[in-house]
A and B are shown apart, each in its own frame.
Chain A
Amino acid sequence: MYPWLIAIIVLLVYLLAYTFYGKKLLAQRIVKVDPNRPTPAVTKFDGVDYVPANKYVLYGHHFATIAAAGPIVGPATALVWGWLIPIVWIIVGNVFLGSVHDYLSLMSSVRHGGITIMSLAENIMGKKARYAFLIYVFFTGILLAASFFSIVASVFESVPTAATINIMYMPLALLFGLMVYRYGMSVKKATVIALILLGIIFAYSYYSPIYATYEAWIFVATIYCIVAGSLPVWYLLQPRDYLNSYFLWTTVALAVIAPFFLPYRLTGPAISTLVAKGSVIGGVAGTPAATFDIAWIWPSIVLVVACGALSGAHAVSASGLTSKQLANELDGLFVGYGGMLTEGALSALAVITPAALAWNFVEAAAQAGISAELVLAAGINVTRTPTILQFPAVNRYYVGYGFAQALAWSRFLGPASFPDLYKFFSSWAAWSLTAFIMTSIDSGTRVRRFMLAELLEPIKPKAPSVYKFLTNRWIASTLVTILVVVMAIPKIPDPANPAVTIYAYTVTWPASSGNNQLQASLALMIASMWVLVIQKIRGPPLALILVPALFLWVTVTSAFFLWYIYIMPYLPLLYLVTTAPIMLCAGGINFYLLFSFISQWRRARQEQ
């Protein structure tokens, strides 16, 4: 198999899916979009949360918000099964589940005044369902944030220039926000200024590392999230997302272009195993759970790949943030469905394909006439790490991306340029990964702060002063970050290879992505209920939403039991008192929400 062939298949499938499945079926037959129906961004315009946005700006903002570590770390981890099955799941899952989930979450929210999917659950399934779903989403967010904190700190530690770019980037975003929102400068003019400064920052950062320890970067991320989660959204988050989208698009564009300059065979196995070790689904290194052969391709792949194919967190972003900015119902397909397809393209073409090409470093380089010495000069120790699988999951992304880009561009600049090109593009990939994550951890802090306020609403009439104190933006941002930090800090050397460090995200990632996928299946069920009750759609179109939702529920619930039985008993104390209770509560809420869904579904069918 060749990288360019994969690129053509992915682009063709996504183009067909967008045109026929997205536009003809979802938008025209199910949602029945009407360009003349005013959206909440117009009817509830307040200049703060409800603001109609340009279709392309909103697409960038939405994409930057939904694309965090998930589309990168998940597929990179899934490489243990080979490259074929993860890429197939990304293509199929994205088209039939992920994009449908994102688009329906967005449009159902738009039709209900821009409310969140949790509030939509209350409208359709009652108040108890709303609180159950809210608690579930809140703790899923905490697990996800712990993984993201751990990933970002590990990248800052191993690629110190990534820390520089992020530290210099934020004041630039702030300057952009002030220029546009405070001093009324046009977006075009401010963008040009910001992009010129960004170029200078990039050039400077490449040669200027900032060093600190993993724990110190966790601490810095914590303070940053509390500050960014508390400051007004126009001040930092929105301009940063907007500027980031240029960076992220460039990363995806390079990943799409490069395969057409790579006439080489993939060196990785299409399928390497159907059962991986327990460490892939959260078994802690050094415990028996890590060595059990329990990570069967089904149901594990759905959990592990996560956001590249599907993510429940997108429902919160689409319904909580994006729906309030959609200017026209017609734009929803491009933003919601198209945004998720772009994320799939990122996973398939920027993560899996480059890694599959670079899998065996010496063999891959030899195809391009690049010697093992040049690979060594690039900084890849082919003796200690002969294949990409020897790297931790996160590193597989920037090593693979850097390797593939260097191979492509060294065809024009000559083999001798390979080491420098590799160093540049792997740094670029590491920067993009941290940029993806930073846009999510601060937005996540803000969203969890809102959720905390919603969760505490019942105490408001009885103890208004306590409620006011706990929902103060600075206090609330701190409260929702504490548990995250505790779970993100641990790291240990790999017992099998002490040179490799195992970070907290290897434990929290499977748990958080499992919850995230379950959240997605519940959001899809709510969406299908909306399609049945509000849109009055029945028959095959409804089945196309409901069947994937139920398939997902069965898959993820099975994976939960796998985790309860094989992983949980061997967790270290810290995770036994943090991650395990969250997972157990999630399991309980999951069944409660399923039964609520079934009873409401029966009632809705009888009423019709």
Chain B
Amino acid sequence: MDAKKAIGILCTLAGSLLMAYEFAYVRLMQGAIGRAGTVSIDTILVVVGFHLILIGPALWLGETPLAIRKMVEVRTGYRPGEPKG
């Protein structure tokens, strides 16, 4: 497993855990996330979790849309990412 993939898995897991903790536990205990007029640690955690979830899967699973690549290969015989001809 390369480092990029490992970081991606880590980011995805950490992001999912942070968001699950905030949306399930904190929301249940406090009725809201954060407090009006301030920037609380809970708001920071949910925002960090949100961005980790956006970036994590891209690092983990790669940025090539495999389903589209297959379709292009079938239609054109050209493999995206490789030089034409």
Q: Which residues from chain A sit less than 8 Å from chain B, CB to CB?
A: 45-48, 51, 160, 164, 167-168, 170-171, 174, 178, 180-184, 204, 208-213, 216, 220, 223-224, 227-228, 231-232, 234-236
In the assembled complex, the Cα of A184 lies from the Cα of B80 at a distance in Å of 17
Contact of B54 (CB < 8 Å), options: A48, A170, A211, A213: A170
A174 touches B53 (CB 8 A): yes
Contact of A183 (CB < 8 Å), options: B32, B58, B67, B71: B67
Which chain A residue has the least Cβ–Cβ distance from B67? A184
Contact of B80 (CB < 8 Å), options: A47, A167, A178: A47
State whether the Cβ of B63 lies closer than 8 Å to any Cβ in chain A. yes
Q: Can you add 19 more A-B contacts, CB < 8 Å, to A183-B66, A211-B34?
A: A46-B72, A47-B72, A48-B80, A160-B32, A164-B33, A171-B19, A171-B50, A181-B67, A181-B68, A184-B70, A209-B33, A211-B32, A211-B36, A211-B38, A211-B40, A213-B37, A213-B38, A223-B51, A231-B63
B68 touches A47 (CB 8 A): yes
In the assembled complex, the Cα of A227 lies from the Cα of B34 at a distance in Å of 24
A178 touches B54 (CB 8 A): no
Between A164, A168, A171, the greatest number of chain B beta carbons within 10 A of the residue's beta carbon is seen for A171
**What distance in Å separates the Cβ of B75 from its nearest Cβ neighbour in chain A?**
7
Task: Render B26-66 as a binary contact track against A, CB cut-off 8 A, 1 for contact.
Answer: 01000011111111100100110011011101100101011
Given the complex, which residues of A lie within 8 Å of B36, measured CB to CB?
160, 211
State whether the Cβ of B23 lies closer than 8 Å to any Cβ in chain A. yes
**What distance in Å separates the Cβ of A200 from its nearest Cβ neighbour in chain B?**
11
Contact of A232 (CB < 8 Å), options: B23, B63, B69: B63
**What distance in Å separates the Cβ of B51 from its nearest Cβ neighbour in chain A?**
6
Which chain B residue has the least Cβ–Cβ distance from A220? B47
B32 touches A209 (CB 8 A): yes
In the assembled complex, the Cα of A51 lies from the Cα of B23 at a distance in Å of 37
A182 touches B65 (CB 8 A): yes
Contact of B58 (CB < 8 Å), options: A45, A167, A180, A235: A235
Which chain A residue has the least Cβ–Cβ distance from B69? A47
A-B contact pairs, 28 of them (CB 8 A): A46-B72, A47-B65, A47-B69, A48-B68, A48-B80, A51-B68, A167-B50, A170-B50, A171-B54, A182-B61, A182-B65, A182-B67, A208-B32, A209-B33, A210-B34, A211-B32, A211-B34, A211-B35, A212-B38, A212-B43, A213-B37, A213-B38, A223-B51, A224-B54, A227-B51, A228-B54, A231-B54, A234-B68
B55 touches A210 (CB 8 A): no
B39 touches A216 (CB 8 A): yes
In the assembled complex, the Cα of A174 lies from the Cα of B37 at a distance in Å of 30
**What distance in Å separates the Cβ of A179 from its nearest Cβ neighbour in chain B?**
9
Given the complex, which residues of B lie within 8 Å of A208, measured CB to CB?
23, 27, 32-33
With A181-B67, A212-B34 given, is the CB distance from A167 to B46 under 8 Å? Answer: yes
